[in-house]
Chains A and B, each alone.
Chain A
Amino acid sequence: GQNIDQPTEMTATEGAIVQINCTYQTSGFNGLFWYQQHAGEAPTFLSYNVLDGLEEKGRFSSFLSRSKGYSYLLLKELQMKDSASYLCAVRDQSGGSYIPTFGRGTSLIVHP
């Protein structure tokens, strides 16, 4: 299985930039996902990385280093609506299941 670690909580100011880190340990890495989840709602897909490097999508970017077992989600120009939990999920190809395992999530609080 995977061992996924991300900070429990982060705070940031509206308009600023925040980086949410995720480290993982897995034997058969096959992709890393970031999801956003607002309280009481289902997660929504943000990004997917399978190769090393940075994937940029608007205000959100995600980075992956497979050799270091490390990823981060970068949020720019923070808005109040970005206050949510951000889930890092790692997919493992062991056993052929290709089912992602989710981290505990990082609760981001954006204040004025």
Chain B
Amino acid sequence: GAVVSQHPSRVICKSGTSVKIECRSLDFQATTMFWYRQFPKQSLMLMATSNEGSKATYEQGVEKDKFLINHASLTLSTLTVTSAHPEDSSFYICSARDRLAGAEWVTKNIQYFGAGTRLSVL
């Protein structure tokens, strides 16, 4: 299956610092990548949809100036948590959708997930 690499897997930082998380599709091209946030025993909450070469689409309630997303190529998207605070501590997961031509993309458009990044802000 498709492989999505997410780095780093764990970050511990001081309050006020910025943290960058990378998400790469290793063996396929992803015009669209997604960023999720998950609190313990909760579901995946979509934060934003990242499209290659254009601005990300943020979900309601997600601060775009706080969570900066850059999707510079078909295989890389980055999420930067700016001026992180303890309440930003969470498990951040990216996923990528394989780019398929024609009508197949709707039926076979499966999301593949990275391993996640556990952010702890002290």
Contacts and interface: CB of A to CB of B under 8 A. Distances in A.
Interface of A: 30-31, 33, 35, 40-45, 48, 50, 87, 93, 97-105, 107
Does more than half of chain A's interface fall in helix, strand or loop, or is it mixed? strand
B104 to A, nearest CB: 12
Does more than half of chain B's interface fall in helix, strand or loop, or is it mixed? mixed
B73 interface: no
13 contacts: A33-B110, A41-B115, A42-B93, A43-B44, A43-B93, A45-B110, A50-B107, A87-B44, A99-B46, A100-B111, A103-B43, A104-B42, A107-B41
A48 B93 contact: no
Contacts of A45: 1, 110-112
Contact of B116 (A42, A48, A99): A42
Interface of B: 1, 6, 34, 41-44, 46, 49, 91, 93, 106-107, 109-116, 118
A33 B109 CA distance: 11
A31 B43 contact: no
A104 B38 CA distance: 10
